[in-house]
C-alpha cells in the first residue's frame, strides 16, 4: 500500500506491505477474512494491504481527521472502518509554499492525514503462526519493565516524564501494536457517509437499497432495471453527513427508447408511472417505519428518482449528483 502515491512526493517509500513470512495458505486466509468480514451485523468487505514497517512507517485507523469533529483522531476498534493515517520519515513534512495547507494535512504529533482511504484492521488468527511468540514475550517484558520504572519514579518523587520521552514511548507502543495487525482497504473517503463517528460505504448503501427495492416490488422490477448511486452531503449539519440517494429506473431493458414507447400499451405505461410515483412518495417513509427493510445506516436522508450522471470512466459523477440534489432541495424550499 502507498506505492501509487510515491510519484506525487507525498511519501518516498511504501506505507505497508505483505509480510514475507506468510505462507500461501496464511495469505489466502488473510484475503478471505477481509472479503468475508462483517461489522455490526452487515458485510464490510476489505482488500488485504498488509502491515506497516515499524519503525520506518506507522499507521493508525481513526474515526475522523477533521479537527472540528468530536471524534478527531479517535482510534477505531478492530474491524471498524475508519480513515487511514500514517507517520514516518518516509512522509513529506509539508508544502513549502503553503503553511496553512500543511497544518490541515498533519496532526500536531506528526501524523499525515491526507491519504483519503477508508480501511480497517483485524488481529491475526493465532493458529496462522503470523505472530512470533518470542517477539510478543519480549514486548511484554519491555512493558513490564516500563511499568516498574514508572512506579519507582513515582516513589522517588519523579512524577513527570520529559515530553520527548513520552513521545518516544508512545511511538514505540504504537509501532508494537501495529506490527501484528492486518490492514484492509475498503474504499476512498469521498465514497463514504459519516454518521455518529462511523464510516459507511456508499457502495454498500447502494447495494442495500437496490436489494430492498427488489423485495418491495418483486415481480414489478428486475435487477437490470435498477441503478443506485449514493453520495454524502453536508445538509443538516456541518459535522455529520446526510445520505443522498439517486435511483435510476429503466423500462424494459434491451429495447431502444422509441421502440419501447411503440410496443408499450397505455396500460403498461400507466402502471410504470404509478410504480415510480409510489417509490418517490412512499419508499422513505416505509424504510424509516420498518427497520427490517434496511439496516439503519443505509436508510437515506434524501432520495430522488432520475438519471444518474456518469464520468468518462462510466462511474457515477459525484459533482453532478450533488448539483442535482442542491437544485432539488432549493426547489423544495
Enumerate the domain spans of the chain.
3-131+180-189, 201-332
201-332 in CATH: which number? 3.30.300.30
Domain 3-131+180-189: give its CATH architecture.
Answer: Roll (2.30)
> Do 201-332 and 3-131+180-189 fall under one CATH topology?
no
Each residue of 112-143: pLDDT tens digit?
Answer: 998 889 999 999 876 544 444 444 444 445 55
> What is the structure's pLDDT at 236?
85
How far is it, in rounded angstroms, from Cα 299 to Cα 292? Answer: 11
Taking a C-beta distance cutoff of 8 angstroms, is the pair 178, 51 a contact?
yes
| Mean pLDDT computed over every residue of the chain | 80
> What is the structure's pLDDT at 302?
94
Closest CA to 229 of 254, 203, 194: 203
Residue 164 pLDDT level (bands cut at 50, 70, 90): very low
Taking a C-beta distance cutoff of 8 angstroms, is the pair 18, 27 a contact?
yes
> What is the structure's pLDDT at 157?
53
User: What mean pLDDT is predicted for residues 190-219?
Assistant: 90
pLDDT at residue 154 tops 90: no
Q: Which range has the worst mean pLDDT, 9-23, 221-235, 298-312?
A: 9-23
pLDDT at residue 31 tops 80: yes
Taking a C-beta distance cutoff of 8 angstroms, is the pair 173, 139 a contact?
no
pLDDT at residue 20 tops 90: no
Residue 151 pLDDT level (bands cut at 50, 70, 90): low
Classify 117 as helix, strand or coil: strand
pLDDT at residue 237 tops 70: yes
How far is it, in rounded angstroms, from Cα 31 to Cα 29? Answer: 5
How far is it, in rounded angstroms, from Cα 181 to Cα 28? Answer: 16
Closest CA to 31 of 16, 18, 14, 12: 18
Closest CA to 201 of 192, 213, 211, 212: 192
Highest mean pLDDT among 62-66, 179-183, 248-252, 291-295: 291-295
The neighbour count for residue 242, using CB atoms within 10 Å, is 18
Highest mean pLDDT among 73-87, 116-130, 175-189: 73-87
Amino acid at each position: 500500500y502507498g506505492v501509487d502515491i510515491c510519484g506525487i512526493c507525498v511519501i518516498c517509500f511504501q506505507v505497508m506491505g505483505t509480510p514475507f513470512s506468510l505462507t500461501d495458505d496464511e495469505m489466502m486466509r488473510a484475503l478471505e477474512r477481509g472479503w468475508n468480514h462483517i461489522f455490526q451485523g452487515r458485510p464490510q468487505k476489505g482488500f488485504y494491504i498488509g502491515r506497516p514497517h515499524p519503525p520506518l512507517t506507522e499507521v493508525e485507523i481513526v474515526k475522523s481527521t477533521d479537527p472540528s469533529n468530536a471524534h478527531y483522531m479517535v482510534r477505531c476498534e478492530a474491524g471498524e472502518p475508519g480513515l487511514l493515517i500514517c507517520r514516518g520519515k518516509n512522509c513529506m513534512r509539508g508544502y513549502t509554499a503553503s503553511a496553512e495547507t500543511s497544518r490541515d494535512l498533519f496532526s500536531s504529533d506528526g501524523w499525515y492525514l491526507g491519504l483519503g482511504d477508508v480501511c480497517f484492521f483485524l488481529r491475526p488468527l493465532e493458529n496462522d503462526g503470523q505472530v512470533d511468540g518470542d517477539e510478543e514475550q519480549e514486548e511484554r517484558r519491555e512493558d513490564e519493565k516500563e511499568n516498574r520504572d514508572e512506579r519507582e519514579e513515582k516513589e522517588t518523587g519523579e512524577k513527570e516524564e520529559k515530553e520527548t520521552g513520552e513521545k518516544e514511548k508512545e511511538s514505540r507502543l504504537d509501532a508494537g501494536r501495529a506490527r501484528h495487525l492486518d490492514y484492509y482497504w475498503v474504499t476512498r473517503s469521498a465514497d463514504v457517509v459519516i454518521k455518529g463517528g462511523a464510516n459507511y460505504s456508499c457502495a454498500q448503501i447502494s447495494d442495500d437499497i437496490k436489494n430492498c427495492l427488489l423485495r418491495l416490488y418483486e415481480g414489478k422490477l428486475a435487477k437490470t432495471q435498477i441503478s443506485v448511486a449514493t453520495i454524502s452531503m453536508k445538509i443538516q449539519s456541518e459535522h455529520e453527513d446526510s445520505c443522498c440517494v439517486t435511483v435510476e429506473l429503466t423500462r424494459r431493458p434491451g429495447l431502444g427508447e422509441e421502440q419501447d414507447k411503440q410496443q408499450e400499451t397505455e396500460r403498461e405505461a400507466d402502471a410504470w408511472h404509478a410504480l415510480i410515483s409510489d417509490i418517490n412518495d412512499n419508499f422513505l417513509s416505509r424504510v424509516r417505519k420498518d427497520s427490517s427493510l434496511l439496516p439503519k445506516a443505509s436508510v437515506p436522508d434524501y432520495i430522488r428518482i432520475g438519471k444518474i450522471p456518469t464520468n468518462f470512466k462510466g462511474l457515477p459523477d459525484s459533482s453532478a449528483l450533488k448539483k442535482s440534489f442542491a437544485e432539488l432541495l432549493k426547489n423544495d424550499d
